[in-house]
Structure 1
Amino acid sequence: MVYISSAFAILMAIMALVIRMKASARPVSTKKIILPPLFMSTGALMFLFPVFRVTPLKLLEAVTVGLIFSIFLIKTSNFEVRDDQIYLRRSKAFAFILIGLLVIRIAAKLILSSSIDLGELSGMFFLLAFAMIVPWRISMLMKYRKLKNGCSDMNFKHI
């Protein structure tokens, strides 16, 4: 089961890279920044089932690691103005960071799966991912609004 979920994680990472590359070709909007964590939040329903519940200490560990990982995503997500529109700037570092995080995640899953129940480990990785995406998207929203407000003052022409 650990190998199947790891293969699924690899497919999801590839999909995230493709989506990120396509996203940089279209203008950004508040909705495009906010919706992914909202959609992901429905995954918290997994905690209705006891098999996925984690102890407070494991919750703290997962959230802390997620917050640390979010720093890398925040640092590599920037915007640029093109044709009077705001776009996400492509970053070569983003792909390497995403792959690095995936390798760390798979290694941690293989190591921890021998000592932590698979359901509880799944809950921890959901918390890690959610704690990573929320600050990243909040940061993106703040950068986007700052740029948008600055551009509307200058009518997008001087940037």
Structure 2
Amino acid sequence: MFWIIASTIVAFFMASLMIIVRLKASKRPASVKSIILPPLFMSTGAFMFVFPEFRVQWMQVLEALLIGVLFSFFLIKTSKFEIRRDKIYLIPSKAFALILVGLLIIRMVLKLIIGSTITLGETSGMFFLLAFGMLVSWRIAMLFKYKQLERQLKVPSSS
């Protein structure tokens, strides 16, 4: 029970931090680097699978990644860019914080359900994969949106 409470507190702290980072990011121009670095940084967490207690079966890997991709659709819908002063900015969405908290609550409920049938290590592995699948698919969609606007910036205006 301690680990469930501790992981819930950590998850809410991380979600709050993500909201703050997202709001600050909207004040600076976006870049390809700022879009692709978070999944690269998160990928180091895959080293957890070196330890047997975190390993999951291939079907669980697919399930977790698929749910992560499905969850990412909410984030993709709220991630929009705009061009200001010949730079591309991420538009802060009022719905982003609500969606993030909603996804967090859904993840907590799933964790309670799944955690009662598999070990803590397997649950951790699955939720890492869920979060990674969500982050990667969200960031790929953001990169496509960013690149579309970048092409618009490079097209000379016809007068």
What's the TM-score once normalised by structure 1's chain length?
0.94
Give the share of equivalent positions with the same residue, in percent: 57
Counterpart of 1:5 in structure 2: which amino acid?
Answer: S
Matched position secondary structure for 1:26: coil
Q: Does 1:137 align with 2:139?
A: yes
Structure 1 segments (4+ residues) deviating >6 Å: none
Q: What does the per-residue CA deviation read over 1:14-57, in whole Å, with 9 as the maximum and x for residues that have no partner?
A: 00000001111110011000100000000000000000000112
Counterpart of 1:75 in structure 2: which amino acid?
Answer: K
Distance in 2 between the 1:65 and 1:90 partners?
Answer: 25
Query: Counterpart in 2 of 1:20?
Result: 22
Counterpart of 1:114 in structure 2: which amino acid?
Answer: S
What's the TM-score once normalised by structure 2's chain length?
0.94
Query: Counterpart in 2 of 1:31?
Result: 33
How far 1:100 sits from its partner (Å)?
A: 0.3
Give the alignment of 1:112-123 within 5 angstroms. Answer: 112-123=114-125
Question: Alignment RMSD, CA only?
Answer: 1.3
Q: Does 1:56 align with 2:73?
A: no
Q: What does the per-residue CA deviation read over 1:60-103, in whole Å, with 9 as the maximum and x for residues that have no partner?
A: 11111001001111111110111221100111111111000000
How far 1:2 sits from its partner (Å)?
A: 1.3
Distance in 2 between the 1:68 and 1:21 partners?
Answer: 24
Distance in 2 between the 1:41 and 1:145 partners?
Answer: 23
Matched position secondary structure for 1:116: coil
Structure 1 residues 105-114 or 77-86, which shifts more?
Answer: 105-114
Unaligned runs of 5+ in 1: none
